[in-house]
Structure 1
Amino acid sequence: MKESDTLYFCTLFDTSYLSRGLALYNSLEKQCQHFKLYIVAFNQKSHDILKTLNLQHAIIISLEAFENERLLSVKPHRGVGEYCWTSTSSVIKYCLETYHLDHCTYLDSDLYFFSSPLPLLSENPNKSVLITEHRYTPKYDQSEMSGIYCVQFMYFKNDELGLKCLNWWVDACIEWCYAIPEDGKFGDQKYLDDWTERFDGIHELEHLGGGVAPWNVQQYKFELQNNKLIGLEKKTNKVFDVVFFHFHDVRFLNTNEVDFGNYTLEKDVLDLIYKPYLKALDEAKTMVQKVDREIDPHGTRNKPNTLKDKLKRIKRKFDKNFNLYPLD
């Protein structure tokens, strides 16, 4: 791929992830010369707000336009999150077919780009599918249950090999996609474990800057060089540009606090990665509230406050993963 090529992305979210989805879009707008982000709005309110915002590089798709008979037949039997997982592969297929795209990359809505995704998409142009490993830090390794690979950034070519893999995944997720481990399956994600053996044309991303996340960030150090976020892998001293970070488990609480999850996050990670993201989310919130002041685009939750929850927070302090911070 060249800088002059248009990059096609897709994602899905509802109002509870609206600020995250907009922050994702805004980051792409900063980092990509030419792109389109196809957004399946998973409720009417998010659809209406996104349409009103009139984002230059976004195509807003209603849930009614996207859903088909197969998805609707399983929807009553899946939880809200499970149905989103069930739909992921179908979103990619829908965009490829409806808009006649030569490729499409699925993005989780809680990603944020710190540099251009082009190096990731150009890493092995002869392959038809790109998948990314979790690269777990050992103490957070959930490969056995959640899978080796993460459904966060997945590229598919609209060619024979890409469609063979994608159609298999669509069928598998329609048949079974639940938030419980069962017979070597878990959600939409565990299916990816054997793709390098099951299918031809699969490429595992090598670039360390794609897929930095709270479950692997302990392996790296970070600094800004000429306003560019640079990572260094501690065990190899390998230097890399951070392309995107996966802000998994960021939760806003009704106590005017934000929780970054149960992970060890060093000061450089908080200062150079999480603080800029909070600013990006705040900017996205401002965009939304210019359209609708009643909506909460952060999906704020009630803070759990039972005795058990309080004891958990004490334990997190001792474990050095107490990432609960007041919002200014």
Structure 2
Amino acid sequence: MRYFCTYFDHNYLPKGLALYQSLQKFCGCFELWVLCLSQICYDSLKKLNYPNVHLIPLDKLERSDLDLLQAKQNRTIVEYYFTCTPCLPLYILKNNPQIDLLTYLDSDLFFYSDLQPIYQEIDDSSIAIIEHRFSPDRLELKQFGIYNVGWLSFRADQKALNCLQWWRERCIEWCYDRPEPTRFADQKYLDDWLDRFSEVVVIQHKGANVSHWNTNNYQIYQSRNQVFIDELPLIFFHFHGFKNYKNGFQISSLNPEFKLASLQERTIFELIYSPYIKTLKDITHHLSDLLPGISMHRSLRGVAIPALNSL
């Protein structure tokens, strides 16, 4: 059995369900804890009643951590969500003694193949983190952190609990959506974990945490109905900043240059983005009767990418 946690509100519900569906397809036996950041999200997931999904209302987490609740008064709602990140796995590990290893997942991840190679790398380590692996043309993004809060694994041992408690305290003290020399939101605190904590492993698999900030590092292609990142299968893609709306797509506000102009970009869109978009559309259609207000189609600011029906 593998154990995961994530969080999202009703606006991210289609993405969160896409993550869940991809785990169902490629993970085997698992349990997923979802911190519901809005009442609509909680009510919707409760009504859907998916197997092996455990719901945590936000106010339940807040009642268990009054310091977290106090921090809500001095930051934006997005910054508060960032503050919740270390509190969630800490809460789950303390209240579920059957868990041996808990992995936090960002809700905008989507899996394309078996997760086993990642777990082979983690082995008996207490903590697992993953680099952004910025491509040479994206190195300015290092100001946001060497490591990405997208996949984080914590074993139910004292070393991991000490790490989570330290991270929680730092985020409650300061967790703002602006880069500073040694901190940015919940993320840049990870930069020194290899030195600060023991039994930390950095996941090396090229197919883990592929995203717009590192795709230019790789040859991306399809073979035998499988997407490959160089010589290794794509395990999961991180759809950070992805938006889909009425007249097209915005791949990411951090990468407005992605305009499907090159062969590489068209390949990425066809092999990686298109299956994700189809999944989101199917989920949104399924939710339409339950939640008429939820739609993928929104008015956004930023650079739009024209929809290509031919792909």
Question: Normalized against structure 2, the TM-score is what?
Answer: 0.91
Counterpart CA distance in 2 for 1:80 and 1:218 is: 33
Q: Give the superposition deviation at 1:287.
A: 2.6
What residue identity is the alignment partner of 2:236? F
Matched, 1:323 2:305: yes
Q: Which runs of 5+ in 1 are unaligned?
A: 1-5, 233-238, 314-321
Structure-2 change in CA distance of 1:297 and 1:142 (3 Å): farther
Q: Supply the RMSD in Å over aligned alpha carbons.
A: 1.8
Counterpart CA distance in 1 for 2:278 and 2:205 is: 26
User: What is the SS of the residue equivalent to 1:291?
Assistant: coil
One of 199, 204, 207 as aligned partner of 2:205: 207
> Which structure 2 residues correspond to residues 144-183 of structure 1 after superposition, within 5 A?
144-183=142-181
For 2:224, the equivalent position in structure 1 comes to 226
What residue identity is the alignment partner of 2:136? P
Q: Give the superposition deviation at 1:326.
A: 6.5
User: What is the SS of the residue equivalent to 1:150?
Assistant: coil
Q: Give the superposition deviation at 1:182.
A: 2.9
User: What is the SS of the residue equivalent to 2:219?
Assistant: strand
What residue identity is the alignment partner of 2:290? V
Counterpart CA distance in 2 for 1:284 and 1:142 is: 35
Q: Which runs of 5+ in 2 are unaligned?
A: none
One of 9, 16, 35 as aligned partner of 2:11: 16
Q: Give the superposition deviation at 1:117.
A: 1.7
Q: Give the superposition deviation at 1:119.
A: 1.4
Q: Give the superposition deviation at 1:124.
A: 3.3
> Which structure 2 residues correspond to residues 111-260 of structure 1 after superposition, within 5 A?
111-232=109-230, 239-253=231-245, 255-260=246-251
Q: Give the superposition deviation at 1:212.
A: 0.4
- How many residues get paired? 299
Counterpart CA distance in 1 for 2:179 and 2:76 is: 15
- In the alignment, is the contact (CA less than 8 A) between 2:83 and 2:175 conserved in 1? yes
For 1:316, the equivalent position in structure 2 comes to none
Counterpart CA distance in 1 for 2:224 and 2:190 is: 37
- In the alignment, is the contact (CA less than 8 A) between 2:207 and 2:233 conserved in 1? yes
Higher relative contact order (CA 8 A, sep 6+): 1
Per-residue CA deviation, residues 55-107 of structure 1 (Å, 9 max, x unaligned), is 11211111121222111101021112111110011111111112222221000
Percent sequence identity over matched residues? Answer: 36
Matched, 1:46 2:37: no
User: What is the SS of the residue equivalent to 2:204?
Assistant: coil
Structure-2 change in CA distance of 1:13 and 1:206 (3 Å): same
- In the alignment, is the contact (CA less than 8 A) between 2:209 and 2:237 conserved in 1? yes
Structure-2 change in CA distance of 1:51 and 1:198 (3 Å): same
